[in-house]
């Protein structure tokens, strides 16, 4: 039934979480980079959108090799973003607006600038074992001339880093390799070391003591490595996923950190590349006391031609429909899912899956409406709520992202591939598509706040696509998201209802049905540029992306990218 206000137990089941990538959110101090004061200054705008929590990407001290996902001090704020006082101000204003703050926890690895790693480079240091060091394979003859990101040939294994090149970097002074699943500047921590784990838990408690309401845990399912790292054959992140002690560590973390605050309800969401519904159920089953929910990645790989994200192919919609449905079905009663299409690592959904030219508003809202109709906690990434699109890149020199730059170097500069063959995948799939500054207004630099040139270029479409214009237009994408998010506070069916996918094989129509105590909510969308004939079910139109949807429904035709939520 419709309620005045429905608050789920726990709170995060019916909240919508908004991700802020701080360097691209708003630049308050006019240096061309977003900052914490920028978040503070726009907190009321987030409250108006109706979100219940903010996930803040890392703001800790970092050399920014991976824009903060390479932490050099877990207890201090990088001056780029401000100070601890600024973070306290953000916590205070968000809490005053009824919004919780989830911090990004990056503890699979640190920055190579972290003092821990510098101490660990000394074989006699008590912190040597805080990282993963291995001797070379003595039976192999190394290529001593190998440069950064190149293979020597005597690495412990042939795993490829997520950011190209080997997962191992040779440390000459100690005649050893150290492991890094990501860049060489992001050495992996050794979670086998109990002293290291206790140090991480103590750090987490210090943030919770400061008022933080939980954590998004970066690649948390990679922290437990296989016992023997010497192996032949190809590999990469996949060889470290859900390792032998992962669940043990998650249950220990729950006991050592979160259970120390029995009167508070936190949100813990694990980023778990490679997760299946079964592994997600093991990780999020409340009786196992590990994490509350996870980010899966299966649906983010459906438009890859061969498993390489930079080899995209058109999405076959039934694949997406079935994947999201399978996750709903298989987590039902066993765990909880984080619902997302967009974040700081993924290209903009309206460009990737929609039509960002002729049907920008309609396709952006159709994808949003169908995602939010599924069972789980929806995550909205900054700019998604106004339909921000991929950037029109012209040169590899415009990119900042380490993954993109390393991939180009591996393929073109080292691999000799034809740049014209590599370029389209870079343009379509680079993480920098999600990292261009938020477009606040039809002002210089899109109102990003700075007269200074922003660290990444602002999409030139900011005059047509910006928060200020859309927040005052009832038919805008921003207002659609505001309405959609608000419905979650009144309609318990969206959080608790059963889930059913109808017409699963249809390549244009997406129809999700939720049921709850005799209520039915139908979320329907024509996910194409062509009209679609369909007699809609009876009921109240709660949400629509065409202003005349209620009248138009009698025609029995869904217009291009038309979506409606109908409740009875
Ligand atoms: O990303 C984890 C991850 O799997 C990435 O390789 C991601 O899938 C890829 O970039 C998609 O193209 C997390 C963070 O979200 C990312 O920003 C960091 O770069 C990475 O971990 C290392 O911390």
182 lines ligand 1 (CB under 6 A): yes
CA 178 – CA 108 distance, rounded (Å) = 14
Of 218, 356, 385, 522, which residue is the catalytic one? 218
The per-residue pLDDT of the chain, averaged, comes to: 97
168 lines ligand 1 (CB under 6 A): no
pLDDT in tens, 409-420: 999 999 999 999
Quick one: pLDDT band at residue 433, thresholds 50, 70, 90? very high
Quick one: pLDDT band at residue 147, thresholds 50, 70, 90? confident
Q: Write out the DSSP string of 361-382.
A: HHHHHHHHHHHHTSSSEEEEET
Pairing of strands 158-159, 176-179: unpaired
Q: Which of 102, 181, 182 to mutate to test the pocket of ligand 1 (most atoms within 8 A of CB)?
A: 182
pLDDT in tens, 473-492: 999 999 999 999 999 999 99
pLDDT of residue 1: 61
Q: Which of 218, 242, 301, 343 to mutate to test the pocket of ligand 1 (most atoms within 8 A of CB)?
A: 218
**Burial class, 425, CB count within 10 angstroms (exposed 0-12 / middle 13-18 / buried 19+):** buried
pLDDT in tens, 493-531: 999 999 999 999 999 999 999 999 999 999 999 999 999
347 lines ligand 1 (CB under 6 A): no
218 lines ligand 1 (CB under 6 A): yes
Q: Which of 345, 379, 399, 426 to mutate to test the pocket of ligand 1 (most atoms within 8 A of CB)?
A: 345
- Ligand 1, atom 11: closest residue by C-alpha: 345
What residue spans of 317-447 are helical by DSSP H? 317-331, 349-352, 360-372, 402-408, 419-429
Cα(217) to ligand 1 centroid in Å equals 11
Least confident of 8-12, 76-80, 438-442, 466-470: 8-12
Phi first, then psi: what are they for 545, rounded to 5°? -105, 5
Res. 4: pLDDT tops 90:
no
Mean pLDDT in residue range 249-268: 98
pLDDT in tens, 57-96: 999 999 999 999 999 999 999 999 999 999 999 999 999 9
The answer to whether the peptide bond before residue 10 is cis (omega within 30 degrees of 0) is: yes
Q: Percentage of residues in the chain with pLDDT exceeding 90?
A: 96
- Ligand 1, atom 7: closest residue by C-alpha: 345
Pairing of strands 100-105, 53-56: parallel
Mean pLDDT in residue range 174-201: 98
For residue 218, indicate whether it is catalytic.
Answer: yes
Res. 18: pLDDT tops 90:
yes
């Amino acid at each position: 039934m419709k309620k005045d206000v429905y608050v789920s137990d726990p709170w995060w089941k019916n909240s919508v979480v908004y991700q802020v990538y701080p360097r691209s959110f708003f630049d308050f101090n006019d240096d061309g980079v977003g900052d914490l004061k920028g978040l503070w200054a726009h907190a009321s705008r987030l409250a108006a959108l109706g979100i219940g929590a903010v996930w803040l990407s890392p703001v800790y001290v970092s050399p920014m090799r991976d824009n903060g996902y390479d932490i050099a001090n877990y207890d201090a704020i990088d001056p780029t973003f401000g100070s601890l006082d600024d973070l306290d101000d953000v916590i205070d204003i968000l809490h005053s607006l009824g919004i919780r703050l989830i911090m990004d926890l990056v503890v699979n690895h640190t920055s190579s600038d972290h003092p821990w790693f510098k101490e660990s480079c000394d074989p006699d240091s008590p912190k040597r074992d805080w990282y993963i060091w291995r001797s070379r394979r003595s039976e192999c003859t190394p290529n001593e001339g190998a440069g950064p990101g190149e293979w020597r040939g005597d690495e412990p294994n042939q795993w490829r880093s997520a950011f190209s090149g080997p997962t191992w970097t040779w440390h000459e002074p100690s005649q050893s390799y150290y492991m890094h699943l990501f860049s060489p500047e992001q050495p992996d921590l050794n979670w086998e070391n109990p002293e290291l784990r206790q140090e991480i838990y103590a750090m987490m408690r210090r943030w919770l003591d400061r008022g933080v309401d939980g954590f998004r845990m970066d690649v948390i399912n990679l922290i437990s490595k296989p016992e023997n790292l010497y192996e032949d054959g190809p590999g990469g992140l996949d060889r470290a996923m859900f390792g032998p002690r992962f669940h043990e560590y998650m249950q220990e973390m729950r006991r050592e950190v979160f259970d120390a605050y029995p009167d508070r309800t936190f949100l813990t969401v694990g980023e778990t590349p490679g997760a299946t519904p079964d592994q997600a159920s093991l990780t999020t089953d409340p009786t196992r006391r590990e994490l509350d929910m996870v980010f899966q990645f299966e649906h983010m790989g459906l438009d890859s031609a061969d498993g390489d994200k930079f080899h995209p192919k058109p999405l076959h919609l039934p694949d997406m429909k079935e994947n999201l449905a399978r996750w709903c079905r298989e987590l039902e009663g066993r765990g909880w899912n984080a619902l997302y299409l967009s974040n700081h690592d993924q290209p903009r959904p309206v460009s990737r899956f929609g039509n960002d030219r002729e049907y920008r508003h309609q396709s952006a809202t159709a994808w949003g409406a169908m995602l939010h109709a599924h069972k789980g906690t929806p995550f909205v990434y900054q700019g998604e709520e106004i339909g921000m699109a991929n950037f029109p890149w012209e040169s590899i020199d415009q990119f900042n992202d380490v993954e993109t730059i390393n991939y180009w170097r591996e393929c073109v500069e080292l691999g000799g591939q034809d740049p014209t063959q590599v370029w389209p995948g870079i343009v379509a799939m680079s993480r920098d598509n999600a990292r261009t500054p938020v477009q606040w207004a039809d002002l210089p630099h899109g109102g990003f706040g700075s007269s200074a040139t922003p660290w990444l270029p602002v999409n030139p479409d900011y005059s047509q696509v910006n928060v200020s214009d859309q927040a005052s237009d009832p038919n805008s994408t921003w207002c659609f998201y505001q309405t959609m998010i608000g419905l979650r506070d009144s309609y318990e069916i969206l959080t608790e209802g059963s889930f059913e996918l109808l017409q699963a094989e249809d390549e244009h129509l997406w129809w999700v049905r939720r049921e709850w105590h005799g209520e039915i909510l139908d979320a329907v969308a024509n996910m194409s540029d062509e009209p679609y004939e369909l007699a809609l079910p009876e009921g109240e139109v709660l949400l629509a992306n065409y202003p005349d949807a209620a009248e138009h429904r009698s025609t029995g035709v869904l217009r291009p990218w038309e979506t409606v939520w109908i409740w009875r």
